[in-house]
Amino acid sequence: MEKLSSIGQLEWFRNKILSRRQEGIIEVHVCMTGCRAYGAAGVLEALNDEVKSQGLSKQVEVRATGCHGFCAKAPVVAIEPMGVQYQEVEPDDAGEIVVKTLKENQLIDRLAYHTPKTFQPVFYRNQIPFYAKQERRVLANCGRIDPTNIEHYIAAGGYQALIKALSKMAPEQVIDEVQAAKLRGRGGAGFPTGLKWKFARQSEGRPKYVVCNADEGDPGAFMDRAILEGDPHAVVEGMLLGAYAMGSEYGFIYVREEYPIAIEHLNIAIAQANELGLLGENILGSGFNFDLSLRLGAGAFVCGEETALMASIEGQRGMPRARPPFPAQAGIDGKPTNINNVETWANVPLIVKKGAGWYGEVGTADSRGTKIFSLAGKVNNTGLVEVPIGTTVKEVIYDIGGGIPKGRQFKAVQMGGPAGGCVPAQFLNLSIDYDTVQRIGAIMGSGGMVVMDENNCMVEIARFFLSFTQSESCGKCAPCRLGTTQLLEILTRITLGEGRMEDIDTIRELGNTLTEASLCGLGQACPKPALSTLKYFLKEYEDHIKEHRCAGAVCDSMVISACQHACPAGIDVPNYVAAVADGEYERSVDIIRERNPFPAVCGRICIHPCEYKCRRGELDQPVAIRALKRVASDWYFKNIGPQRDPFPVIRKQKIAVVGAGPAGLTCAYFLAKMGYQTTVFEAQPVAGGMLGIAVPEFRLPRQVIEEEIQYIENCGVEIRYNSPIDAKHTFNDLLNEGYSAVFIAAGAQASKRIGIPGEDENLEGLYYGLDFLSKVRMGQQVPLNGKTVVIGGGNVAVDVARTALRSGAQDVQIFCLEPRDEMPAWEKDVEEAIEEGIVINPEASPSDITQEGGRITGIEFTHCVCVFDDEGCFNPTCDLEDTRVVEADNIIISIGQAADMSFLSADSQLERALWGALVVNTNTLATNVPGVFAGGDFTTGPTFVIRAISSGRRAAIAINKYLTGDDSPVYIPDEKSVRHTATKLALAEETTEDQPRIEVEFEDAKERVCDFREVEKGFTEQEACREATRCLRCDLEKEENGI
């Protein structure tokens, strides 16, 4: 290429390039930067070969480009001008792409993106949800042009900004434009770029330097990499403009050596720019000189800090120094230096070319423009995302990112790398900009967003970041050098189960010292991950220290197998699954009963936290643990039944339990097992608590509950029915009657009221959920004809709706506040309800109930825009203009339950919290009255049955300690069952065949609504055996390694 010596010549050159572009040529863009790691080179070659062999070389151009952004689906191939995007392309697909799509204009289904729920193919890039909310300004050229050919950049409008500046703008005007655009540094600190440039311009020293910080060291960040590899000239042009504005003649791009492709493309870009005379002396005849060269990092994260970076350029150890003087006054070699991040530089040509006005059309008031985020971790659509500043966290992670894989729960997103903090679920509605994120203890940082789900441990994440910063600390200043080591040691101890409660305050103290006293940003910011996780996940730290529990089931020292650890009751899951595989159902139930006396109930309705942590689920799908439990217990009750000998009574104390629900009966069972005489006082004529009242017959048949209760009674537990504990017979009376301890497990059975106009309990046709379910269960008739509206989005509401359908209501519709995918109800139940014909109306907030002559006629709903506020508190906001009135004959309100404290007389000594709930010690479940304990739904509010069961067992252990004078804390670690089966299950056979999870069968949807038959059919013995052998026996891993 010939050197261009004037602006006019550049324009001539550009015109020639554009004219050479033929009409109607098809371009195939193959990403050859990030996608190379997934075989893109082979795809490129195959496509080239295929085009040639099909004789299409004149009509088709196969181009190696930069990043398309949708990295999760690498390798990505885009076809223009059709706008088609194919993904996960393999070299073998080349033939079909060329012949079918390029030649015959046919689209290939299996190479297209498919929407997750409906599996519909989306062929056109601008329709793919991942791209819909993005605004790709800085990344506009990435994925379209060949970054190794400067002509492409020029043809796409490149270097027009440079021309504009050199011909029409004085250097100060360039700075003014950048200031007007309110561009803030994209490297993390967010300092106003224009202002920084002004300082550099005003400095006296010569020569002046401009530097590009391309040392993207933040783990989890790869935005700069994509720009450098996919559109390097954007950075070159940006630096040219900056140098012109500030009066600099020398520029350095400091790029980390771990980015070989970026280095290669930058070298090519600089060489080509030099060749054309866009770099060097007398650029385009303007008299402006600019020499740009590369400097490679040598593997030190701290060199991303500007003073350390400058030291590194000077060939020294990369250690930061104090500021002032700031680089703008005295930088490299003591001369004025301006350092900006890659993305900041890449924004500059856009600002100069299109003006600050255009630039400011997106963004927030203080932070204009777009920001590129690298989305990674536990999210479906990992890749590069460019959105206007001010987009919410939820939009990035769910709308663009496609949510969390495998239906797991979002836990937190780490923003800003090791200098940033964790943003937990309560802040999903936060709009992302420099200031909002800082307020909650994180930083927007360079743009790395690493998503974490329920299977990550926040303590371990904090430790992970500290281990990184500790090893990268340069060692110059004591706070950082010593502080990081100490913090790391403390966090490591906590993950090893050796933490102490004082550690929490120590972490805070050390963190503050580091923040205040460290020399540079690395030390100042490195405590942030620890401090922010401590702030939002304090319970996890405390659980690690006090109870040796790891919420993510990650910390090896506390976890034998993730499933057992996830179970609130700590059931030895792998063992009983292995017993099922061997057909030893009695042994399986025995193992379960060591922690849980309700195997048959849980086998039907447990929320199975174990399955969400099942490691098999990482491979394909989790083992169907709950269904296996059901097979074993059904067999047990069919072949052995509830008979058994009672436990021997070996203690003299007797204990009273209030409430024969799951918590109360579990407590009684374990107390009996320990040899105590236990009596359960139940107000109702039947036992079972919520199980019998609220869970419908079609999910949990009455017979199953009765058999389990009979078994517990046969163990020696006495249940007195129709014996309420209330003002006539108080718990004090119980203590006086000779009971040495009392466990109150009265459940949470009072229905919550909404509190809207027209909500009159006496209205005909108005019911409350729990009340309604209880009546139906008792066999009472509830007249429900016509249209039935159910209000609520939780499990009880869904059960209510399905029960209503079976009780004569012809038309049942659910109305809830939440959007469909945020309904708190168990997804499985919601889907079964929809199958049965129930209509779900999300985002509806009830506002007024209408009646006529004492009978319901209808109900008005307003559109609920948002359920939780910025801080994550329950604070529904509604659009009062958007209302609709729905005709209804019956309304069943099912918005939640609370504990009914009315049975405790008002002056009882039991200590209550401000809001009326009972205060209990979380470890021992003891109240302030000696000998009186409380637990289950009664103290926690409505929760899952397995939690109530584990609460009951904890109470039994605590009561036993109390009665034997043992005041050590209750400690319930995971334990292996004595009856240990050594079957290796899945690992025993080498098989390359797929072994997907066996799905349980259901009764036909149309037929099952006619009565209350059990909806889920359960496994056959054969199916159970096959499913159980999928278990990986994670519990044996440690034994094998001699731990």
Site residues (vs another protein, CB under 8 A): 34, 36-38, 71-72, 74, 216-222, 225, 257-260, 295-301, 312-319, 374-378, 382-384, 414, 417, 448, 450-452, 456, 461, 464-465, 468, 472, 474, 618
Measured from the CB atom, the residue of 248 and 951 that comes closer to another protein is: 248
Count CB-CB contacts under 10 A for residue 505: 9
Measured from the CB atom, the residue of 472 and 634 that comes closer to another protein is: 472
Rounded to 5°, the CA angle 551-555-557 comes to: 125
**From the CB of 978, what's the least distance to another protein, in Å?**
30
Measured from the CB atom, the residue of 367 and 414 that comes closer to another protein is: 414
**From the CB of 224, what's the least distance to another protein, in Å?**
8
**From the CB of 939, what's the least distance to another protein, in Å?**
34
Rounded CA separation 39/353 (Å): 37
**From the CB of 406, what's the least distance to another protein, in Å?**
12
**From the CB of 674, what's the least distance to another protein, in Å?**
40
Residue 462 burial (CB < 10 Å; 0-12/13-18/19+)? buried
**From the CB of 139, what's the least distance to another protein, in Å?**
14
Spatial contact of 447 and 380, defined as CB atoms under 8 Å apart: no
Measured from the CB atom, the residue of 456 and 596 that comes closer to another protein is: 456
Rounded CA separation 550/565 (Å): 8
**Alpha carbon distances (Å) from 1014 to 437, 704, 784, 869, 980:** 49, 11, 22, 40, 33
Look at the chain and count its residues: 1043
Measured from the CB atom, the residue of 916 and 996 that comes closer to another protein is: 996
Distance from the Cα of residue 165 to its chain's centroid:
45
**From the CB of 467, what's the least distance to another protein, in Å?**
9
**From the CB of 618, what's the least distance to another protein, in Å?**
7
**From the CB of 256, what's the least distance to another protein, in Å?**
8
Rounded CA separation 932/923 (Å): 14
**From the CB of 456, what's the least distance to another protein, in Å?**
6
Task: Give the three-state DSSP class for 591.
Answer: helix
**From the CB of 994, what's the least distance to another protein, in Å?**
14
Measured from the CB atom, the residue of 313 and 804 that comes closer to another protein is: 313
Measured from the CB atom, the residue of 222 and 637 that comes closer to another protein is: 222
Maximum Cα interatomic distance, the chain, rounded to a whole number of Å: 106
**From the CB of 373, what's the least distance to another protein, in Å?**
11
**From the CB of 417, what's the least distance to another protein, in Å?**
7
- What contacts 896, CB < 8 A, 6 or more positions away? 751, 752, 792, 794, 796, 942
Measured from the CB atom, the residue of 76 and 748 that comes closer to another protein is: 76
Helices 625-639, 585-593: inter-axial angle, 10-degree rounding: 110
Residue 368 burial (CB < 10 Å; 0-12/13-18/19+)? buried
**Alpha carbon distances (Å) from 726 to 124, 687, 730, 733:** 67, 18, 5, 10
Both tokens assigned to 1040: 């094998």
Measured from the CB atom, the residue of 495 and 749 that comes closer to another protein is: 495
Q: What backbone phi and psi angles, to 5 degrees, belong to 175? A: -65, -40
Measured from the CB atom, the residue of 123 and 468 that comes closer to another protein is: 468
Measured from the CB atom, the residue of 39 and 701 that comes closer to another protein is: 39
Tokens 């309800």 locate to 833
Enumerate the H helices of 766-916 as residue ranges. 769-778, 795-806, 827-835
Rounded CA separation 329/331 (Å): 7
Measured from the CB atom, the residue of 527 and 747 that comes closer to another protein is: 527
**From the CB of 529, what's the least distance to another protein, in Å?**
10
**From the CB of 454, what's the least distance to another protein, in Å?**
12
Measured from the CB atom, the residue of 1006 and 1038 that comes closer to another protein is: 1038
**From the CB of 813, what's the least distance to another protein, in Å?**
41
Both tokens assigned to 705: 């509950």
Q: Is the peptide bond before 232 cis (omega within 30 degrees of 0)?
A: no
Spatial contact of 647 and 672, defined as CB atoms under 8 Å apart: yes
Both tokens assigned to 57: 């070389």
Rounded CA separation 282/614 (Å): 66
**Alpha carbon distances (Å) from 297 to 300, 471, 608, 640:** 7, 17, 49, 72
Measured from the CB atom, the residue of 38 and 962 that comes closer to another protein is: 38
Measured from the CB atom, the residue of 71 and 791 that comes closer to another protein is: 71
Sign (positive/negative) of CA torsion 812, 817, 821, 823? negative
Measured from the CB atom, the residue of 225 and 699 that comes closer to another protein is: 225
Rounded to 5°, the CA angle 780-786-789 comes to: 85
Rounded CA separation 581/989 (Å): 14
- What contacts 490, CB < 8 A, 6 or more positions away? 499, 503, 506, 507, 510
**Alpha carbon distances (Å) from 313 to 240, 253, 980:** 20, 10, 63
